[in-house]
Amino acid sequence: MTAQDEDRKVRVNGAFQGTLNYFIKDERIGAANIPQYEGMPLGADAWLSVNADFGKWRGGLRFDFFHNSNLLNPSASYTARGLGIWFLETTYKKFDFRIGSIYNQIGSGTIYRAYEERPLLIDNALQGAQIEYNINDNWQTTFFAGRQRYLFSNYGGWVYGGKVEGFMSVGKEGQIKLFPGLGFAGKQLSDSSVDKLVSVLRNYVDDERIEEFSYNSQAVSLYNSLNYKSISWYLEVAIKLPEVFLDPNNETTKITGTLTPGRFVKESGSVIYTTISYAKKGLGITLEAKRTKNFDFRIDPTLLLNNGLIGFLPPMNHITTYRLTGRYNPATQLTSELAFQADLKYRLSKKLLLNLNTSNISTLQNSLLYREFFLDLKYKPSRKLDTHIGIQRQIYNQSVYEGKPKNITPIVRTWTPYVDVLYKFTRKKSIKIESQFMSTDEDYGSWIYLLAEYGMAPHWRFELSGMYNIIPNPGNPNIPEGAGEKILYPTAGIYYQWKQSRYGLRFVKQVEGVVCTGGVCRLEPAFSGFKFEVNSIF
């Protein structure tokens, strides 16, 4: 077959992801009082993607289906279906063109990032057009414009931007490699957003009044990666020109004289983000820092939570997969944050790997938001045995991250030791045991978590776990009615893999908590019920 024949061939591939939830009311853990527990027990979310290639052309469609879904708002029911995204792209000489739904980012995403996080039902693809121009082998430029997707529609308004990125090597024998970039992103408010903003601002008292604002606002970002031998350094500086945004740390004076939290202000913003890492055999060190001031950059300033954000600010804590060490997550603060993180990986011997991590997050006024110390020791004496033992210390400002009353919500302080053992009986059969204990006097009190997972490769995996509120904190006024007792939150699951498809059936009881995916977080209520999951590619 010649290359020309190959070009004439249409290649089709796709993927299906679906979850069926059956909600079972359990007032004791707070899994109640939302539609799914009060008469609409069956919920489903599904995505079917189909992509095709034909020569220089590539296109794709994604159908989305939601029925009584709790993904959009974990406390509500969302039902809709239709064409989620579509795209068509091609190349012509030095140009790459794409129309439809576009995912892209500038730098680390600070001023612009279009991305998808299905567990939180975030998909803010740009609905528009993008052109990439390859200036030469080392430099390329990209421009895009369109509307930001929201569910099966968009937020209105326009988002536009561009970037120039390249590669240079300098120094003796070109040992220093630079990957510089310069980007800008702008937005134009929709008439509806302007009307909403006017309706708010015209009620402001004189001292807080904003006389005028613009339909347009822009942000620019300068970034660079530098690689020299074992050192890698990334630096990004982003500036947002003055625009109106909601500052949650400010207060509005109502005409009645009452002060209420949150005020729209017109100010500029900035983010400085840097990470430097050093790696050589057996040793890896990474240092990260981020300073954020007034960087709430949204397509509509009146939107709240994760809605309408144009950029993405990376989280600055250790990402962990364990249930209890991942219970308290510091969501990125958009208006005032100073964060540092250090990570060390050191191979003590052939069998022992040490990981130390620490992070510290505060406001720009030096009020502590989050601090973490994490130690993990990996011991792998043979192919059969892989163990982790570790401990985490967290200091977590729950009232800021979860919006709970300041004076009755103490800072949560935890110690969480854990042991994780994976033993392979044979090449196909393995067992994994996880045990964690979280000691804390705050929030729900102390927890113990045990998990056993038995794998029969390549098809079956069985999971049984339980999270138990071993020393509850019934005096906490923040926890739901009925909670605050010694409650077991069990999970049992069966997973089956067949060719390129994976099926899972789980019974889950899950405590309320902050759930983060890809650095984006939200507070989710307790869950009780069955989940049937399918993931398939074709």
Partner 1 sequence: MKYLSILISLIILGACSRGTVVVPEFEAIESDRIVLLEEMTGVSCPNCPKGTAEIDAIKELYGDQVIPIGIHGFFLSWPTKESEFDFRNDFAKELEMNLAPGTSKPAALFNRRTPSGESDRVVESPDLWSGYVAEQLSIAPKVGIEVELAYEETDRLLSIDVGILGLESIPSSTNISVMILENNIIDAQEDLNDIIEEFDHNHVLRTMLTPYDGERLASSIEKGGVLNRAYSFEVPEDEHLWKVDDLEVVVFVHLSENLGEVLQAALQKVER
Contact between residue 244 and residue 301 where contact means Cβ atoms under 8 Å apart: yes
Q: Which of 387, 399, 491, 535 binds partner 1 (CB under 8 A)?
A: 399
Residues 208-247 touching partner 1, rule: CB under 8 A, are: 209-216, 246
List residues bridging with 530 in a β-sheet: 22, 507
Per the omega criterion (within 30 degrees of 0), is the bond before 417 cis? no
> Which one of residues 59, 242, 284, 480 is an interface residue with partner 1 (CB under 8 A)?
480
For 362, what's the count of Cα atoms within 13 Å in the CB-facing half-sphere?
6
Site for partner 1 in 24-43 (CB under 8 A): 32-35, 38
Count of other CB atoms within 10 angstroms of residue 82 = 11
Binding mask 99-138 for partner 1 (x = CB under 8 A): --------------------------------x-x-----
**Residue 48, strand partner residues:** 16, 63
Q: Contacting partner 1 (CB under 8 A), which of 196, 393, 413, 432?
A: 196
Give the one residue of 12, 83, 170, 198 binding partner 1; rule: CB under 8 A: 198
Give yes or no for residue 264 binding partner 1 (CB under 8 A).
yes
Give the chain's radius of gyration (CA, Å): 25
For position 255 contacting partner 1 by CB under 8 A, the verdict is yes
User: Of the ranges 166-174, 192-200, 278-286, 428-436, which one interacts with partner 1 (CB under 8 A)?
Assistant: 192-200
Q: Distance between CA 51 and CA 62 in Å, rounded?
A: 9
Going by their DSSP bridges, the two strands 259-280 and 283-293 should be labelled as antiparallel
285, 288, 506 from 232: Cα distances, Å: 10, 12, 42
Q: From CA 57, how far away is CA 254, in angstroms rounded?
A: 57
Please state the closest distance from residue 196 (CB atom) to partner 1, in A.
6
Alpha helices for 351-432 (secondary structure H): 398-402
Residue 26 Cβ, how far from partner 1 at the closest point, in Å?
Answer: 15
Position 169 contacts partner 1 (CB under 8 A): no
Q: Which helix (H) or strand (E) holds 185?
A: strand 176-188
From the list 472, 490, 480, the residue with the least C-alpha distance to 523 is 480
Is 200 an interacting residue with respect to partner 1 (CB under 8 A)?
A: yes
Candidate residues 403, 486, 537, 538; the one interacting with partner 1 per rule CB under 8 A:
403
3-state SS record for 47-71: EEEEEEEECCEEEEEEEEEEEEECC
**Among positions 73, 435, 439, 497, the unique one binding partner 1 when judged by CB under 8 A:** 73
- Binding to partner 1 by CB under 8 A, coded x per residue (else -) over 406-435, reads xxx---------------------------
45-64 residues near partner 1, rule: CB under 8 A: none
- Please give the residue ranges that form the binding site for partner 1 (CB under 8 A): 32-35, 38, 70, 73-77, 95, 131, 133, 141, 143, 145, 153, 156, 158, 160, 162, 186, 188, 190, 192-203, 209-216, 246, 252, 254-256, 258-262, 264, 302, 304, 399, 403-408, 475, 477, 480-481
